[in-house]
Amino acid sequence: MAYLLTLVTFLPVVGAVVVLLLPRRQEAATKLVTLGTSVVTFAISLPVYFRFDPASADYQFVEQRAWIPSLGVSYHVGVDGISVLLVLLTTFLMPLALLSSWTSVESRWKEFAITMLLLETGMLGVFVALDLFLFYVFWEAMLIPMYLIIGIWGGPNRVYAAVKFILYTLTGSLLMLVAILFVYFQHGAATSTYTFDLPVLVRFVIPGGLTQDLLFLAFALAFAIKVPMFPFHTWLPDAHVEAPTAGSVILAGVLLKMGTYGFLRFCLPLFPQASMTWAPWLFALSIIGIIYGAWISTVQADIKKLVAYSSVSHLGFVVLGLFTLTPQGMVGGIIQMVNHGLSTGALFLMVGMIYERRHTRLIAEFGGLWKVIPAFSVLFLIVCLSSLGLPGLNGFVGEFLILLGTFQVHRLAAALATSGIIFAAVYLLWMYQRVCFGELTSEANRRLRDLSPREWAVLLPVLLFIVWIGVYPTTFTAMTEPSVQALITQVQAKAQATSALLIPR
Amino acid sequence: MTPPLILPAVDLRPLWPMLVIVLTATVVLLLDLIPPRERKDHLGFVSALGVVAALVVTYWMTFAGAGELRGFRGMVVLDAYALFFNIVIGYATGLMLLLSMDYIRREGQESGEFYVLVLLSALGMMLMAAAGDLIIVFLGLETMSISLYVLAGFFRTRPDAGEASLKYLLIGAFASGFFLYGIALIFGATGTTNLDRIANAVAAGSGRDPMLVIGLGLLLVGFGFKISSVPFHMWAPDVYEGAPTSVTAFIATGSKAAAFAALLRVLLTAMRGVAVDWPMVVWAMAAVTMTVGNVVALAQQNLKRMLAYSSIAHVGYMLVGVVAGGALGNGSVLFYLLIYTFTTAGAFGALVLLERAGHEAVRLEDFGGLATRHPMLAAALSIFLLSLVGIPPTAGFVGKFYLFGAAVKAGYVWLAVVGVLNSAVAAYYYLRLIVYMYMREPEGAPTVLAPSFSGALALAVALWGVVQLGVAPGPLFDLAQAAVVPLLR
């Protein structure tokens, strides 16, 4: 088990190489190898869950090996309660995303398979890396496959969306690179050990004040763009709408979580004092995002765009929860990341299915689908309800915990955020009503096929977890709690140490 | 009774890598005279072998720990620093030769002189890297430049080749003028042209001599032309566009490396004690060079021009390392030059291999839908472009990481910020080519891949360099850093 995380992370690359060597005519074999690789990756990632010690706050399955010794860069990977669920979410969503592309990706399946598998490695690498250099390598390297997925297999306006996506995220992350270097040299100058190792760096107290604020902002900008938080969200609707279904699922399900994960893993422990100073601002932006995202979703004519803007709203909840620095809020934030991955992933999958049948996503084109495709409509309803936070389904758990945490810190913020849940009900149910209920208005909808076995196979696993987390979230929350507690203790202790450093001046 | 003839004891060891090149050039010149006269493939092959031999000698001297070899009363210094640059120049020359073989035949300009000129300009470059005296710097500079002036206009039937060659010659002569005048002033101030003795004179108190300061300024202007930093970059786009593509790659890589070699050595040894805040001058030059290069590159439709402006921008990044100074800063400049050589030779190499309707494919439209037609070439070119952007895990990322890291370490955080923002701007125009290759449909006459084994070999070597230096940069970076440490005494 010593190489478990390495195996999980790099198995998709092996699959990509195999696909590369397959002749282009062998499309069926390509598909099987790709899906097989992702399923096997998921299977070997299961021990990460089963052998994970939920009582421990430490990094587990750690591997560390020197990479560029003269710089203090090492290949250091491991998971703790914060990242373990995200690793599993990634390996879980990937086979589903691939399965959803079985027929919807019509050209260049081979290249598509290679990019998707490389993307998986990039995403997993981001979540397991415990070395800032390694993290940055994965963080940037993963941009290119996503750029290609949007740009090659996307909709009519795909090039614009792809370029916007990459320029936004690149600008943010390049500033983070300077900040990483700054932290590295500060730590090196103070302790004369030059290292990018995260567990070492988080023990280092960076002087408070302007330096820490600027460093925090450089990191926060990169993560805020990725989340995306208002007002850095404008790349998201373009990217989501133009991306093929699999791209949207991965984008919403995993990529956006990298931003929130980054806040949790890097911003809070490295810059505790600045995090606290800027928390009110992040609160404000989150709440604007929650409400604004919901309002904009309400008026969308395109289902996919509606789901895209709803992400802005949902991710606002996550950031809100993380920056409460309360156990409930943070555990809620982490579980809400998973929930959003499942619910919004499922929404994108279903929008993709309906698009494959009708080649339109406009709400006005539908109506009365319940009569034609009842199975689809039922599942779509469950997914919508999970996304809007109906008790008993997963969304409720996360949002409830987040609001509980927020209420302890700032009542007005909690009250405003709660309105986001109401608005979510408005836009999702109104959309659902126009799509599935009412009279069957369009002739083209009369002959729609209901779900195929392949589509059932895609949706059922997601539904399983939607209900599981809704009914018995402890299975998952228990894993995160010790790490979250440890993080809060660490942040508060470090913030005090930073303040102590400030006073003598 | 005639006095006995006393021959001075000449130590040729500092010249070994250069002697290999000279020997090869002579052999090629002679081989050119004997049959077969109509095919010249074997000449390119012999030249490439000579370059490989020079590389082997260089590697051997590096790892055998030959130490610092001085010859001709300290005029030539073959130390770890010069050896590292010999590696860079060797790769640049070798890749250029491999790319040229089929290319110049295809263009109907095959002749033996081409290879001789390439080898002689490589000799000049190596001499610049090993110069211990300003006169030798100048000698190397001229040997390199005059060969390159001819090479730039090698497709002599094309009007733009003539323009490129003439422009390069005139501006180059102008730069040489600055350079020589600078040397003269420094000689006037210190009484010597030897770098170490200039350093001693400066240390002894002539560091504030205005004549010396002006001399240094003129030297910087001369180097500024050769590395094409703003505001001395105007010649670059026209020359890059008009010259044969493989020669363009050579100008962008080899000649730049050589100019940087001499520039750094002059700054680090002779000018160490000069009481002028030259890092601030270079700071401004770096910031302006990056920004102008990248912003103007955005507007280019011709890829050779685009890569010309991109190479100006990359000079800006390298100047960041010069500003940062120290073992880390200067070491990262050396390392970046090596990475830049592989990356740029690869990118130009892909252009060399493509043609459309009997013309070179150098316009953006020519690359529409290239990925469907030539997936391997498109993938290779994409990797080179990503390395130019600086996306991990390519070498370009590691190179920039070291450069900006050095700047942050030396306290030039804002220069690093300017640098990374420039990288984001640059991403737009590099990725635009990827957009054309992967996300557009081909239009009009097909862009075809010229069959060339040597060209494919060159791309493979460049790709290996880009990937290998990106994944495991440690050993060569340590070598680069160790190469500059002795200069920093």
Instruction: Report pLDDT for A505.
Output: 38
Q: Nearest Cβ partner of A137 from B371, B393, B408?
A: B393
Q: B2: exposed, middle or buried (C-beta count within 10 Å: 0-12, 13-18, 19+)?
A: exposed
Cα angle for residues B441, B442, B447 (degrees, 5° grid): 155
* Residue B423: C-alpha distances to residues B233, B296, B311, B323, B417 (Å): 19, 14, 13, 18, 10
* Residue B285 confidence (pLDDT) above 80: yes
Question: Does A105 score more than 60 pLDDT?
Answer: yes
| Residues in chain A whose Cβ is within 8 Å of chain B | 67-71, 108, 111, 133, 136-138, 140-141, 143-144, 147-148, 151-152, 158-159, 162-163, 166-167, 170-171, 174-175, 177-178, 181-182, 184-185
Residue B216, in any domain of the structure: no
Q: How many domains does chain B have?
A: 1
Nearest to B438 among A70, A151, A175 (CB): A151
Give A-chain residues touching B393 at CB under 8 angstroms: 137, 141
Query: Does some domain include residue B2?
Result: no
As a whole number, the mean pLDDT across chain A is 88
Q: In this predicted structure, what is the pLDDT of residue B354? A: 87
Confidence label for A38 from pLDDT (cuts 50, 70 and 90): very high
Contacts of B472 in chain A (CB under 8 A): 68
Contacts of B66 (CB under 8 A, 6+ apart): B13, B78
Query: Is residue B198 a part of any domain in this protein?
Result: no
Residues 342-361 of B with CB under 8 A from A: none
Q: Which two tokens stand for residue A479?
A: 């894993």
d(CA A329, CA B450): 62
Which of B401, B404, B439 lies closest to A152 in CB terms? B439
**Is A242 in contact with A285 (CB distance < 8 Å)?**
no
- pLDDT at B160 (0 to 100): 86
Q: How many CB atoms lie under 10 A from the CB of residue B192? A: 17
pLDDT surpasses 90 at B360 = no
Query: Would residue B108 count as lying in a domain?
Result: no
Residue A103 pLDDT: 81
Residue of A nearest to B414 (CA): A178
Q: Provide the b/e sequence for B404-428 (b: ≥16 CB within 10 Å).
A: bbbbbbbebbebbbbbbbbbbbbbb
Q: Out of A111, A144, A178, whose CB is closest to B391?
A: A144
CA distance B455 to B414: 41
Q: Is residue B488 part of a domain?
A: yes
Residue contact A68–B477, C-beta within 8 A: yes
> Domain count of chain A?
1
d(C-alpha A98, C-alpha A89), whole Å: 14
Q: Is the pLDDT of residue A366 over 60?
A: yes
- Check residue A288 and report its DSSP letter: H
ipTM of the complex: 0.89
Beta bridge partners of A302: A362
Supply the angle between the helices B474-484 and B326-353 in degrees, to the nearest 10.
120
CA–CA dist B96, B248 (Å, integer): 9
Mean pLDDT on A341-358: 90
**What is the model's pLDDT at position A53?**
86
Is the confidence at residue B314, as pLDDT, over 90?
yes
Indicate whether A464 pLDDT > 50: yes
pLDDT digits (tens, 9 = 90+) for B471-488: 989 889 999 998 998 888
Confidence band of B341 (pLDDT split at 50, 70, 90)? very high
What is the pLDDT, as a whole number, of residue A500?
62
Beta carbons within 10 angstroms of residue A43's beta carbon:
12
Please list, residue by residue across B360-396, b when 16 or more beta carbons sit within 10 angstroms of its beta carbon and e when fewer do.
Answer: bbbebebbbbbbeebbebbbbbbbbbbbbbbbbbbbb
In tens, the pLDDT along B400-456 reads: 999 999 999 888 989 999 999 999 899 999 998 998 888 888 877 778 888 888 899
Distance (Å, whole) CA B196 – CA A17: 54
Residue of chain A minimizing CA distance to B420:
A174
CB B415 within 8 A of CB B352: no
Counting residues of chain A whose pLDDT is more than 70, the rounded percentage is 98
Amino acid letter for position B459? L
CA nearest neighbour of B311 among B340, B339, B352: B340
Position B295 scores a pLDDT of: 92
pLDDT, tens digit, for every residue of B226-247? 998 888 888 999 999 989 999 9
Q: Which residue of B has its CA nearest to A181?
A: B405
- The whole-number pLDDT of residue B49 equals 93
Pick among A13, A67, A71, A173 to test the B interface (most B CBs inside 10 A): A71
pLDDT confidence tier of residue B201, bands split at 50, 70 and 90: confident
Residues β-bridged to residue A197? A131
| Nearest one of A104, A134, A100, A139 to A123, comparing CA atoms | A139
Estimate the share of chain A in helix, then strand, then coil, as percent rounded to the nearest 5. 75, 5, 20
Within-domain flag for B175: no
Please give the Cα distance from A270 to A260 (Å, whole number). 15
Mean pLDDT within B84-99: 94
- Amino acid in the structure at residue B144: M
Name residues whose C-beta falls within 8 Å of residue B299's C-beta, 6 or more positions apart in sequence.
Answer: none
The answer for B 353-412 residues in CB contact with A (under 8 A) is 371-372, 375, 386, 391-393, 397, 401, 404-405, 408-409
In Å, how far are A357, A418, B289 from B292, measured between CA atoms? 50, 50, 5
Closest CA to B401 of B341, B342, B331, B347: B331
Q: Is residue B339, in this structure, part of any structural domain at all?
A: yes
Pairing of strands B76-78, B69-71: antiparallel
Q: Where is average pLDDT lowest: A313-322, B209-218, B376-385?
A: B209-218
CB contact under 8 A, B435 and A163: yes
> Token match 């911003």: residue?
A267
- CA nearest B375 in A: which residue? A111
Average pLDDT, chain B: 89
In a domain, B101, yes or no: no
Residue of chain A nearest B372, judged by CA positions: A108
Return d(Cα B20, Cα B16) in angstroms, integer.
6
Instruction: Say whether pLDDT at B23 is over 60.
Output: yes
Contact across the interface for A185 and B423, Cβ inside 8 Å: no
A116 pLDDT higher than 80:
yes
Q: What was the pLDDT predicted at A389?
A: 86
What pLDDT was estimated at residue A272?
Answer: 87
Facing residues of B78 across strands?
B69
Q: Which residue of A has its CA nearest to B438?
A: A152
Q: How confident is the model at residue A94 (pLDDT cuts 50, 70, 90)?
A: very high
Mean pLDDT, to the nearest integer, of B304-316? 93
Which residues in chain A are contacts of B473 at CB distance < 8 A? 68
Provide the token pair at A76.
């250091």
Report residue B293's pLDDT band, with 50, 70 and 90 as the boundaries: very high
Domain carrying residue A135: 4-502
d(CA A480, CA A84): 8
For residue B297, give its domain range: 277-489
Contacts of residue B6, Cβ cutoff 8 Å, sequence gap at least 6: none
Amino acid B206: pLDDT: 66
Token readout for B227 is 């590395």
Pairing of strands B359-360, B354-356: antiparallel
CA nearest to A188 within chain B: B409
Tell me if A174 and B424 make a contact (CB, 8 A cut-off).
yes
The SS3 assignment for A259 reads helix
Closest CA to B244 of B73, B43, B433, B101: B101
pLDDT at A504: 43
A53, A454 Cβ separation under 8 angstroms: no
Residue A67 in 3-state DSSP? strand
Per-residue pLDDT, averaged over B389-397, amounts to 90
Mean pLDDT of B276-289: 85
What is the structure's pLDDT at A104? 79
- In the predicted model, is pLDDT for residue B392 greater than 80? yes
- Rounded CA separation B428/A159 (Å): 12
